[in-house]
Structure 1
Amino acid sequence: MKNAARLIALSLALQGLAIQPSIAQSTLNYTTSWIGNSFGFGDGKWMQQDVEAIAVAPDGTVYANAPWDESGSEIGVYRGGDKLAVAGNTHGWGNAGGDAIAANSTYVYAAMSIGNESNGLVGADYPPANQTWFGVTRRLRADVTQGAPFASGIGNSANATKNSFLRVLAAPGSSDGAVRGLAATDAELYVADTADNRVVVYDAQTMRQLRSFTVPTPGRIALASDGTLWLIQGLQDANGPSIGHYRKDGTALNDAPVLPAGTVPTDLAFAPSGQLSIADNGPTQQILLYARASNGQMTAAGSLGTRQGIFHVVAGKPGDWRFNGIASIGYDQAGNLYVAQNGQGPRPYGTALVGQGAVLESYAMGTRTLGWRLDGLTFVDAAAFDPANAANVFTGSKRFTLDYGQAPGKQWTYAGFTLNRFAYPDDPALHSTRGVRGSPMVRRFNGRRFLYTLDQYAHYLNIYRFSPATDGEVAIPSGLLAQNPMPGNWPAGQPAYGEWMWRDANGDGHVDASEIASNPSTGATVGNGYWWVDTPGNVWLATPLSGIREMPMQELDAQGNPQYTYASSKMFAMPAPFNRIARIVYVAETDTMYITGFTANIPWDASHWKEAGPVLARYDNWSSGSPTLTWQASLPWNTSSSPQVTTVGIAVAGNYVFIAELYTQKIDVYDARSGQLAGSMTPGANVGSTSGWVDIYMGMSAAQRDNGHYVLLVEDDARAKILMYDWTPG
């Protein structure tokens, strides 16, 4: 027990304070499930988080490639709605996947890169300092985990892909020299050396260079039955890419179609009938068909897919033939169509974006019906419940519905894609570091639903409103609160330094300089603060060293946007025992504040910059001016162990506080009334008894259902899903 102590500008009563130590884990009655991926990993499978390119074998086997998958499935193999293999050795130790892939009867050729991890890797397997190798890994089709070495092959001398890498380009380490197109016959391999404006032709068996010819920034390549090459070219042209047609020796042919205005070609493929298909990732989101006319020219012959794709009529509603970010297409021998999408399309030249989640699907062209579909929809993405309906779950850019009566992994349905890059190119998420929205909070005011999202490290708080009648599932950009300027000199009108906010005063979803307001009182960055939005819509900012600020929501403006002002802010001083705050959850209904952070006993250090801290505390009567520290608890914390035991996330629901550990795949459950540890939860066998790190500041949310069950949603970016715990307190 301690007597009341007074802080500067804050009175803190410590009556009834109990410091709760960690105790042994209790057995809890819970089940695990997942959301957003076709596989849970209990069977060792997961749908990769991104697909940039596919190659389709005659038997319908699909080989997919992307520069990055968190668990190393940059190259995945699929058939009939199942995952057959992960190629491996494209992740870590300098290796990364790529943006193109091709296959012949013997080999799979996949674009990849080899770096030296900021000059930390040296030797013959790695490029010299400040350089990256871009090229092609050759694998056996019979077993893609095995390299198919050749005399001039290099790299990976310590694994099964030794000497099976073809170096096409050695580029400065910060530049994009990625191979953007591949095509192969049993005799020749065609490589789009995009950065060098050429197509290079290699012997498909010996991998010796045969010839090359000039093409302006070439991309995807498709081989016609007559041996000519059709390709996408001009990836960096001011007017956008176009279609080129070349003989094998590089002679340009002049019969390529001129694409409709607004078309953004991203891939092309030939059906067994000889019809040319061109994927359009522009606003139409369709596959354009071309056939040879009697005059010898390629002429339009229709299209596949719903015009405007996922944004047709009910914007953001997923469904058959409603494409969303067409990245690659292909056909098998039977004429079935395969379409890879990632909500974005192929990675823009010179960027490291990984899309909005992968969808790989197959259609039977005879009946135009869906054959199968695989989803890997979330990456560095948290999830949150709609407060009006615990069966309605939002991630940064998705909505899922839940049927708790179904078997684990079958409970979720992909119900909405909430980001419309065509209607709202000024969505702040599209201008953030990763181009995604990240951690969501769903709130309801005046009967309306709002979405608040945090970027990965909580620098920015984005605000979105909904208008189902006009925008379907789409979340309309409504506002932004920023602790510091956005990267990339966007938007125009933001201050060069310091806090600022934007509100969409005219309701058009675009950021106008006249709608931006800077913080007049500080003119300084807040630092690595943490945002929280309470039930009434007040925005709380936990600053690391200066206490906690509340920005009350004033009202909804004429456009339906929540309004905030710096002038109306209220500041609460740093409460004992903390000297650095990392996370907060404020429960407005009970005027209760939960805080995690660091104290004089275990101070913060820069090596644990994203941790939630070793101490959890509950304060009652927070807004009264004399809050009561009801209890504090010591959280799991051991930075000397291997792996380290630290905390990263907090969620509160009903009578419990949930704490996510960073490296140890454990969720600790505390009684919110006493601070006592009730037990812990870890991933079950149906999700492989494992999960990835909770790698973002707000990686977890919780809700109590009407039946008393607690449901917890936890980021699992390791395998492109949301991990779900369903716990019944004993």
Structure 2
Amino acid sequence: MKLISRLGIAVVLIHGLISPNTYAQSQLNYTTSWIGNSFGFGDGKWMQQDIQAISVGADGTVYTNAPWDESGSEIAAYRAGDKLAVAGSTHGWGAAGGDAVAVNHTYLYAAMSIGNESNALVGADYPPANLTWYGITRRTLANLAVGAPFSGGIANSANATKNSFVPVETVTTGIDASIRGLAATDSELYVADTYGNRIVVYDAQSMQPLRSWSVNSPGRIAIDTDATLWIITGVLSGNLSILHYAADGSALGGPLPLPAGTVPADLTVTPAGQLLVADNGPSQQILVFNKGADGQRQAGTAIGTRNGIFHAVRGVPGDVRFNGITGIGVDPAGNLYVAQNGEGPRAPGSASVGQGAVLESYVYGSRVLNWRLYGLTFVDSAAFDPATPASVYTGSKRFTLDYSQPVGHEWTYAGFTLDRFDYPDDPTFHQPRGVRGEPMVRRFGGQLFLYTLDPGAHYLNVYRFDAAHGEIAIPSGLFAQNPLPGTWPAGQPSFGEWLWRDGNGNGVVDASEITGNPSTGSTVGNGFWWVDEPGNVWLATPLSGIREMPLQGFDTAGNPIYTYASAKMFAMPAPFTRLARLVYFASTDTMYLSGFTSAIPWDPTHWKEAGPVLARYDNWSSGTPTQAYAISLPWNTQSNPQTTTVGVAVAGNYIFIAELYTARVDVYDARSGAAVGYMTPGASVGNTSGWVDVYLGISAVQRDNGEYVVLLEDDARAKILMYRWTP
């Protein structure tokens, strides 16, 4: 045992481990801020991460619904750029939100589902074993958290929504029978029973069924000024059309003529009688249909920029540059409301939560913006552009930062980098969750590249940029530790790891561009990817050591070239028995590793953790690396909450460690390994954050003025947590 001193802090070095228990850590002096959400939660508000449907009240209040919001805001209310309420009781204990919502002057009616948590929940509040209810929850507009009971209403006896749910379909658990359309007057509620191929009409007061008629998998419903109905049909088949019905179910003419390529996502009728149709096809516009003298609908001038956010400059957000419209509505005062999630309505059977929510209001006639709200990130971390700490990328967004602005106002939404129309074969869309996830931003010779990890770090995606595509990240390559589940892509090996490089530059994963590496089998599974400054790709395998795949240059399409043949292997160094994270700096040949040791071995309960030990190695590539130190990180699996680590970032002279359950970032001196202090969320974000739920959930940079900026995933409330600290 020996005593060393760094920065005036005494630490004890015992058997190569610097133990945090030998000193008292102190809280640092820092500022807490955030990126990507219109609210920071300091006032208890947050913009939800996804909106699947909206309904607009007479006073301009916008009511939303989605199957999932991480903190329970599936059903919420917004007005004049502010958040008014969260309905609640749609999250956990078998309950989830849904894909439709409607209001009249008294009630909110929202689609939701109720399950039984794999048969763990029993009784009258829950469906029988192996079944799920899909139906409607009714709430009062005066208090969304309170159910409006009715005779025959069931469920939720444990909370304030007792007896206020009506099941429309009872199906085997796993079947998606979500209600996809609702519309209400003060006397009647129209329900699109999509799974049951029918429209069901309920009495809006008693909630007793009045009548029904057959419609092919109906979706969104709009009530016209003459009390007739416009209904999107063919939702389950994808062969969408818009049909016109009388309130009694009588068909009125043929399908509404739509421009070629239109994908109707929602529809509404203005007070003046114009029919509006949200097009989630390539146009990304709101189509306008006027009523002619003969009563027939005639196409008018569409609302919004043609191609929306994908119009030049592509990927740049702006007024009426729509991106994945999920809901539209117009209030009696003539204001237009548009909800978007960067994707469009959830596909039947999918668990998609969109690519970030945007809720906007415009003056209908002039298209002048009234207000806009953002909830842009989910299961998404952030990383800095090496060229400037004022530009930050998440998996599918870019933000610019002005550090002179007040807390929560430093960020501006600058770019959407996913293009589902030009690049539908982007690996993002075929990987679990369908989100790009965790970014690493690199520049080689000034050229910008984006590398992203899925939440579990199984896949490393590679993207390039060019001037013609604006903010869009062009699919360039993919490293897979194992075959992707399912049939995509054609040509992937059935066993072992593989990589893809877009040799012809078309952004399509062609079978001829795939290279397998079956010799490694499953030995690389559950490893962690890292890309260093020169572009070399590192993989910390759990048990088989560390692999470097040096950048071999660029092909004619501008894609980075990597080969298995050029790979270099390094043995797992002491004291580790299993590796979990890797950070390498080629400029100094310094390697940081974290993981598990024989003293605290890995166990599958903590499969996502970064481990209890972090070590630094100098002269890593020399063949005889030197361990500078090994730090015993915070780790207590018996405490409540548990204390474990999940993320590692290194910038300048400091190491930043994200804890998983405790909303805490521990800071160490990178030169000595000595603990410096810690940071936790401040009052501006409600003194709280969600778990860091991904492998690469933290990043850091040192600005020219000496300030350190640390970014942390906070999917609980659809934002990136930002710490600003000057040592």
Q: TM-score range by the shorter chain?
A: over 0.9
Maintained 8 Å contact 1:584/1:596? yes
Maintained 8 Å contact 2:496/2:519? no
Instruction: Report the AA paired with residue 449 of structure 2.
Output: F
Which residue is equivalent to 1:191?
A: 191
Give the Cα separation in 2 of the matches to 1:15 and 1:201. Answer: 74
Q: CA deviation at 1:27?
A: 3.0
Which residue is equivalent to 1:39?
A: 39
Which residue is equivalent to 2:563?
A: 565
Give the Cα separation in 2 of the matches to 1:632 and 1:565. Answer: 33
Task: Report the 3-state secondary structure (helix = DSSP H, G, I; strand = E; otherwise coil) of the residue aligned with 1:489.
Answer: coil
Structure 1 residue 146 and structure 2 residue 146: aligned?
yes
Match of 2:618 among 582, 603, 620: 620
Which residue is equivalent to 1:333?
A: 332
Give the Cα separation in 1 of the matches to 2:651 and 2:259. Answer: 53
Q: How does 1:456-471 map to 2 (within 5 A)?
A: 456-468=455-467, 470-471=468-469
Which residue is equivalent to 1:6?
A: none
Give the Cα separation in 2 of the matches to 1:682 and 1:428. Answer: 35
Instruction: Report the AA paired with residue 108 of structure 1.
Output: L
Structure 1 residue 234 and structure 2 residue 234: aligned?
yes
Instruction: Report the AA paired with residue 726 of structure 2.
Output: T
Give the Cα separation in 2 of the matches to 1:299 and 1:367. Answer: 21
Task: Report the 3-state secondary structure (helix = DSSP H, G, I; strand = E; otherwise coil) of the residue aligned with 2:413.
Answer: strand
Worse-superposed segment, 570-579 or 21-30 = 21-30
Maintained 8 Å contact 1:484/1:525? no
Aligned length: 716
RMSD between superposed Cα atoms in Å: 1.3
Q: How does 1:609-688 map to 2 (within 5 A)?
A: 609-688=607-686
Sequence identity percentage: 71
Give the Cα separation in 2 of the matches to 1:463 and 1:525. Answer: 22
Give the Cα separation in 1 of the matches to 2:688 and 2:450. Answer: 30
Give the Cα separation in 1 of the matches to 2:432 and 2:134. Answer: 23
Deviations 1:641-691 (A, max 9, x none): 111111100000011110000000000001111111100000000000000
Q: CA deviation at 1:556?
A: 1.0
Q: How does 1:135-174 map to 2 (within 5 A)?
A: 135-174=135-174
Which residue is equivalent to 1:499?
A: 497
Task: Report the 3-state secondary structure (helix = DSSP H, G, I; strand = E; otherwise coil) of the residue aligned with 1:196.
Answer: coil
Task: Report the 3-state secondary structure (helix = DSSP H, G, I; strand = E; otherwise coil) of the residue aligned with 2:289.
Answer: strand
Task: Report the 3-state secondary structure (helix = DSSP H, G, I; strand = E; otherwise coil) of the residue aligned with 2:605.
Answer: helix
Which residue is equivalent to 2:396?
A: 397
Give the Cα separation in 2 of the matches to 1:237 and 1:111. Answer: 21
Deviations 1:140-159 (A, max 9, x none): 00110110011111111010
Tell me which stretches of 4 or more aligned residues in structure 1 moved more than 6 Å: none
Give the Cα separation in 1 of the matches to 2:697 and 2:119. Answer: 32
Deviations 1:179-229 (A, max 9, x none): 000001111111101011001111111111111100001000001121111
Give the Cα separation in 2 of the matches to 1:525 and 1:175. Answer: 36
Give the Cα separation in 2 of the matches to 1:79 and 1:621. Answer: 58
Task: Report the 3-state secondary structure (helix = DSSP H, G, I; strand = E; otherwise coil) of the residue aligned with 2:428.
Answer: helix
Instruction: Report the AA paired with residue 552 of structure 1.
Output: P
Deviations 1:61-106 (A, max 9, x none): 0000000000000011000000000001100111100000000111
Instruction: Report the AA paired with residue 364 of structure 1.
Output: V
Give the Cα separation in 2 of the matches to 1:169 and 1:237. Answer: 19
Which residue is equivalent to 1:526?
A: 524
Q: CA deviation at 1:292?
A: 1.7
Q: How does 1:4-43 map to 2 (within 5 A)?
A: 17=16, 19-22=18-21, 23-43=23-43
Maintained 8 Å contact 1:52/1:346? yes
Which residue is equivalent to 1:486?
A: 484
Give the Cα separation in 1 of the matches to 2:661 and 2:519. Answer: 39
Structure 1 residue 540 and structure 2 residue 546: aligned?
no
Match of 1:708 among 701, 706, 709: 706
Q: CA deviation at 1:523?
A: 4.0
Q: How does 1:306-317 map to 2 (within 5 A)?
A: 306-317=305-316
Structure 1 residue 201 and structure 2 residue 212: aligned?
no
Instruction: Report the AA paired with residue 676 of structure 1.
Output: A
Q: CA deviation at 1:124?
A: 1.4
Q: List alignment gaps of at least 5 residues for structure 1.
A: 3-13
Maintained 8 Å contact 2:291/2:298? yes
Q: CA deviation at 1:396?
A: 0.3
Give the Cα separation in 2 of the matches to 1:130 and 1:626. Answer: 59
Give the Cα separation in 1 of the matches to 2:433 and 2:369. Answer: 31
Q: CA deviation at 1:388?
A: 0.6
Which residue is equivalent to 1:267?
A: 266
Which residue is equivalent to 1:424?
A: 423
Give the Cα separation in 1 of the matches to 2:664 and 2:540. Answer: 25
Give the Cα separation in 2 of the matches to 1:327 and 1:259. Answer: 18
Q: CA deviation at 1:17?
A: 4.6
Instruction: Report the AA paired with residue 210 of structure 2.
Output: L
Deviations 1:367-411 (A, max 9, x none): 320000000000000000000100000000000000000001000
Give the Cα separation in 2 of the matches to 1:187 and 1:151. Answer: 17
Q: CA deviation at 1:21?
A: 2.9
Maintained 8 Å contact 2:70/2:715? yes
Deviations 1:298-334 (A, max 9, x none): 1101210000000111110000000000001001011
Maintained 8 Å contact 1:384/1:701? yes
Instruction: Report the AA paired with residue 19 of structure 2.
Output: Q
Q: How does 1:38-117 map to 2 (within 5 A)?
A: 38-117=38-117
Structure 1 residue 451 and structure 2 residue 457: aligned?
no
Which residue is equivalent to 2:357?
A: 358
Give the Cα separation in 2 of the matches to 1:559 and 1:464. Answer: 12
Deviations 1:599-635 (A, max 9, x none): 0000111111111111111111111111111101111
Give the Cα separation in 1 of the matches to 2:77 and 2:500. Answer: 45
Q: How does 1:300-311 map to 2 (within 5 A)?
A: 300-311=299-310
Maintained 8 Å contact 2:180/2:193? yes
Maintained 8 Å contact 2:580/2:610? yes
Instruction: Report the AA paired with residue 279 of structure 2.
Output: D
Q: CA deviation at 1:522?
A: 2.5
Match of 2:548 among 547, 550, 553: 550
Maintained 8 Å contact 1:255/1:296? no
Which residue is equivalent to 1:592?
A: 590
Give the Cα separation in 2 of the matches to 1:21 and 1:321. Answer: 53
Give the Cα separation in 2 of the matches to 1:225 and 1:516. Answer: 56
Instruction: Report the AA paired with residue 684 of structure 2.
Output: N
Give the Cα separation in 1 of the matches to 2:624 and 2:523. Answer: 29
Q: CA deviation at 1:295?
A: 2.9
Maintained 8 Å contact 1:180/1:220? yes
Give the Cα separation in 2 of the matches to 1:707 and 1:487. Answer: 47
Give the Cα separation in 2 of the matches to 1:392 and 1:305. Answer: 28
Maintained 8 Å contact 1:323/1:341? yes
Q: CA deviation at 1:465?
A: 0.1
Change (3 A) 1:636 1:16: closer
Maintained 8 Å contact 1:33/1:724? yes
Instruction: Report the AA paired with residue 112 of structure 2.
Output: M
Give the Cα separation in 1 of the matches to 2:362 and 2:617. Answer: 57
Which residue is equivalent to 1:689?
A: 687
Deviations 1:412-454 (A, max 9, x none): 0000000000010000001111111000000000210000000
Give the Cα separation in 2 of the matches to 1:520 and 1:326. Answer: 43
Q: CA deviation at 1:15?
A: 13
Instruction: Report the AA paired with residue 564 of structure 1.
Output: Y
Give the Cα separation in 2 of the matches to 1:665 and 1:21. Answer: 18
Give the Cα separation in 1 of the matches to 2:714 and 2:146. Answer: 29
Give the Cα separation in 2 of the matches to 1:73 and 1:112. Answer: 13
Which residue is equivalent to 1:119?
A: 119
Give the Cα separation in 1 of the matches to 2:620 and 2:495. Answer: 32
Give the Cα separation in 2 of the matches to 1:526 and 1:193. Answer: 46
Q: CA deviation at 1:496?
A: 1.1
Which residue is equivalent to 2:8?
A: none
Q: How does 1:373-412 map to 2 (within 5 A)?
A: 373-412=372-411
Maintained 8 Å contact 2:17/2:632? no
Maintained 8 Å contact 2:426/2:508? yes
After TM superposition, the score normalised by the length of structure 2 is: 0.97
